[in-house]
Chain A
Amino acid sequence: MAATAAAGAVATDEDARVTQSAERTIIAEFVDVHRHYVMGKNVVKALNGISMQVRKGDYLAIMGRSGSGKSTMLNILGGLDRPTTGEYRVGGRDVSKLNDDDLSDVRGREIGFIFQSFNLIPQLTVLENLEVPLFYQGRVGRESRAKAEYLAERVGLGKRLEHRPLELSGGQQQRVAIARALMNDPLFLLADEATGNLDSNTEKEILDLFDDLRPDGVTIVIVTHNPKVAERADQTLWLKDGQVEKLVNNRTAVAANGGHP
């Protein structure tokens, strides 16, 4: 039973890691979050009492069918929307009651967005796109340029700084988007179907890049409906009808599965 033994070894390793996680800082936390929409006479309960935590260094996938509340959760996690009731804490601070300007600052300082359709600004060069998040913090200058150059190098696009987004392939654009998300040293990266517009080879490249970044202490939350993408994360949070269905530790699950992804 060499396979089991090996799997057991992996499981033990992962267990150790999960135990360690209790000591790592909580950087984002939902406390009984509800998000209700009024549609005519009906109240749609998109999120219905969600509590969860993201700790520093986590790699978390959020999955669920359409209508499960994934998008709503993403919007609140990203500071684009506010809970109807409940608390959303970022870096220990409740941001659910902040005004528009302060919430904009939270987005600008603490969160690194990565979108399905890359969402680079077409009229700007790669370098300028990278500088956008710092521009709104009033931090554009020689340092921001050096940082942009470093991150472009880090995602493998060091020679494309003066290119326009449309001159790049989809995979390259998404690399730029990832570098942009890292520009403000966010507490966590928030990826929305980050590989949804890419072919499977490029998808793998991007997911490898995420793995590459993890030793730097990058925390990743990825919202997806693609199980292959979710498997690459440490944990998967399953949503159903606006509630947490289950939290699966993918490392132990993989082990139980006989080590086959």
Chain B
Amino acid sequence: MIADTMRMVKLGLKSLMLHKLRSCLTTAGILFGVASVIAMLAVGEGASAETLKQYREMGVTNVLLRSQKPEETQQSSASSMMSTLSYGLFYQEADRIQNLLPQATVVRVREFQRPVMRGENWGQTMIIGTEVNFLEVTNMKVHEGRWLTELDQQRQANVCVLGERLARMLFPLENPVGKTILVGIEDRFEIIGVLEYQGRAASPNGTTLDQCGFIPMTSSRRRFGDTVRNPLINRWEQVELHEIKVKLPSTAEVEGAAAVLDQMLQGEQVHRNKKDYEITVPLELLRKAEATERMFNLVLAVIASISLLVGDIGIMNVMLATVTERTREIGIRRALGAKKKHIVQQFLVEAGVLSALGGLVGVGLGMLVPYGIEKYFKQPTDIQAPHVMLAFGISAAVGVVFGLYPAWRAANMDPVEALRHE
């Protein structure tokens, strides 16, 4: 049985070698179809996987409220040139949110840029003033030492937890825990812990959590106040909180909570008529991204099917030509005892070999392209085994289906006529 199949495949290859160029071109049709499907899916999957990962890291049960600078009218801009611009969320609002959503975990976040220094090592980085719950809400872990405690908050202690990158920058050779660093010009902070590597953004400006230092909210307020100078427009801005993170017990409550929060904030006198905050619901973004991904995949599937179809039509075309050309051979084989099924088998195997060869080389090329994209364009890609098998399977299966008609025509020739064919 296996020997017979091998024999059929060998025979198929021999017959295909009769027209090398034609067979190669037909195979190329399938090859590029399969390769493009695999490459497209890998690139698409890579891009969406990255986005989905970002949204998941933001926390699917979180609602994020972020201060944003309101758009200024010309009048206000002119009049406030000398004054301090005040906008955004307030300390008090976090308490009100906690009262409104008692089941939620609420975390205040304050961000500011400061130079940090340890011996000869220094750099400008982002210091985050925050609370005990921050770790839970952002789903981070302590690598070494400990995280901030309630006691640190009450004492307004000068303690700091370092992100992994910051720790390595300031302490390339020693263990940071227990050492002190200089934040800003005059404030010394004791390092109490180092976080695990995260590899994700802390704020929209692109700083990663790993580059940040974390200090108690109370200490940040006492040492550094609420006003910062915006270096771009040379103006003082007063922002109490840059972000309030609200973590809910389950995804089911997220959308309701987001609506309630928006309503609450819009009701506040201070936020009226100026959009100085923004609500982000990672879950919503995630769902949208997933919906987009599904749509994208559907479009890809359609394009893929079309390109495979074109390749397979090529196969059918070539097989029809082959059958006509080899009418005499069919007659000879029939005279020597071949049944119709033998003839069908023979031509199906040829169609199958064409499409399988194209499919195999296509799989190779299709996996090489994403590799190249990743290497030279630094785009993440993701080759998934089911996609590869799908592309290969469809091409091989459809190749055989499209080979059926030519094979059927070959088998149903009148042997007498076929033998007479020149």
Residues of A within 8 A of B (CB): 75, 78, 80-81, 100-101, 104-105, 107-109, 113, 115, 119, 121-124, 132-133, 135-138, 140-141, 180, 184
**Do B329 and A121 have beta carbons less than 8 Å apart?**
yes
Provide the residues of chain A in CB contact with B332, threshold 8 Å.
115, 119, 121
**B43 to A: closest C-beta gap in Å:** 42
Bound-state Cα–Cα, A138 to B338, Å: 11
Provide the residues of chain B in CB contact with A115, threshold 8 Å.
332, 335, 419
**Do B328 and A136 have beta carbons less than 8 Å apart?**
no
**A185 to B: closest C-beta gap in Å:** 13
**A63 to B: closest C-beta gap in Å:** 20
**Chain B interfacial residues counted at CB < 8 A:** 25
Residues of B within 8 A of A (CB): 3-4, 7, 11, 14-15, 17-18, 328-329, 331-342, 415-416, 419
Across the A-B interface, the 6 shortest Cβ-Cβ residue pairs? A108-B337, A136-B337, A104-B339, A133-B336, A119-B332, A123-B14
Provide the residues of chain B in CB contact with A141, threshold 8 Å.
3
**Do A100 and B416 have beta carbons less than 8 Å apart?**
no
B17 partner, pick from A104, A123, A135, beta carbons under 8 A: A123
**Do A78 and B333 have beta carbons less than 8 Å apart?**
no
B329's nearest neighbour on chain A, judged by CB, is A121
Instruction: Tell me whether A113 and B416 are in contact in the complex, defined as CB-CB below 8 angstroms, given that A123-B18, A135-B7 are known contacts.
Output: no
**Do B337 and A137 have beta carbons less than 8 Å apart?**
yes
Q: Majority SS of interface residues in chain B? A: helix
Instruction: Tell me whether A101 and B339 are in contact in the complex, defined as CB-CB below 8 angstroms, given that A81-B416, A123-B17 are known contacts.
Output: yes
Bound-state Cα–Cα, A235 to B98, Å: 116
**Do B333 and A113 have beta carbons less than 8 Å apart?**
no
Provide the residues of chain B in CB contact with A140, threshold 8 Å.
3-4, 7
**Do B7 and A80 have beta carbons less than 8 Å apart?**
no
5 A-B contact pairs sorted by A residue (CB < 8 Å)? A101-B339, A107-B334, A109-B337, A132-B336, A140-B4
Bound-state Cα–Cα, A78 to B419, Å: 12
A100 partner, pick from B4, B7, B331, B339, beta carbons under 8 A: B339
**A199 to B: closest C-beta gap in Å:** 22
Provide the residues of chain A in CB contact with B7, threshold 8 Å.
135, 140
Provide the residues of chain B in CB contact with A80, threshold 8 Å.
334-335, 415-416, 419
**A66 to B: closest C-beta gap in Å:** 14
Provide the residues of chain A in CB contact with B334, threshold 8 Å.
80, 104, 107
Provide the residues of chain A in CB contact with B338, threshold 8 Å.
104, 108, 136
Bound-state Cα–Cα, A180 to B333, Å: 12
Bound-state Cα–Cα, A207 to B329, Å: 26
Bound-state Cα–Cα, A107 to B337, Å: 5
**Do A105 and B337 have beta carbons less than 8 Å apart?**
yes
A136 partner, pick from B17, B342, B415, beta carbons under 8 A: B342
**Do B333 and A132 have beta carbons less than 8 Å apart?**
yes
Best-buried of A100, A138, A141 by chain B (most CB within 10 Å): A100
B328 partner, pick from A101, A119, A123, A133, beta carbons under 8 A: A119
**A169 to B: closest C-beta gap in Å:** 20
Provide the residues of chain A in CB contact with B341, threshold 8 Å.
101
Provide the residues of chain A in CB contact with B340, threshold 8 Å.
100-101, 104
**B321 to A: closest C-beta gap in Å:** 16
Provide the residues of chain A in CB contact with B3, threshold 8 Å.
140-141
Q: Knowing that A80-B416, A80-B419, A119-B419 touch, tell me 9 more A-B residue pairs with CB under 8 angstroms.
A: A78-B335, A80-B335, A81-B416, A104-B338, A105-B339, A115-B332, A123-B14, A138-B4, A140-B3
Provide the residues of chain B in CB contact with A124, threshold 8 Å.
11, 14
Bound-state Cα–Cα, A100 to B7, Å: 24
**B16 to A: closest C-beta gap in Å:** 9
Provide the residues of chain B in CB contact with A180, threshold 8 Å.
336
Bound-state Cα–Cα, A113 to B416, Å: 13
Bound-state Cα–Cα, A184 to B342, Å: 18
Bound-state Cα–Cα, A107 to B17, Å: 29
A81's nearest neighbour on chain B, judged by CB, is B416
Bound-state Cα–Cα, A80 to B413, Å: 12
B335's nearest neighbour on chain A, judged by CB, is A113
Instruction: Tell me whether A107 and B336 are in contact in the complex, defined as CB-CB below 8 angstroms, given that A80-B416, A123-B17 are known contacts.
Output: yes
Provide the residues of chain A in CB contact with B335, threshold 8 Å.
78, 80, 107, 113, 115, 119
**A132 to B: closest C-beta gap in Å:** 5
B417's nearest neighbour on chain A, judged by CB, is A80
**B291 to A: closest C-beta gap in Å:** 54
Provide the residues of chain A in CB contact with B342, threshold 8 Å.
136
A181's nearest neighbour on chain B, judged by CB, is B336
**A76 to B: closest C-beta gap in Å:** 10
B418's nearest neighbour on chain A, judged by CB, is A80
Bound-state Cα–Cα, A81 to B339, Å: 14
Bound-state Cα–Cα, A135 to B332, Å: 13
Provide the residues of chain A in CB contact with B419, threshold 8 Å.
80, 115, 119
Provide the residues of chain A in CB contact with B4, threshold 8 Å.
138, 140
Best-buried of B14, B328, B337, B338 by chain A (most CB within 10 Å): B337
**A177 to B: closest C-beta gap in Å:** 10
Bound-state Cα–Cα, A137 to B336, Å: 10
**B51 to A: closest C-beta gap in Å:** 54
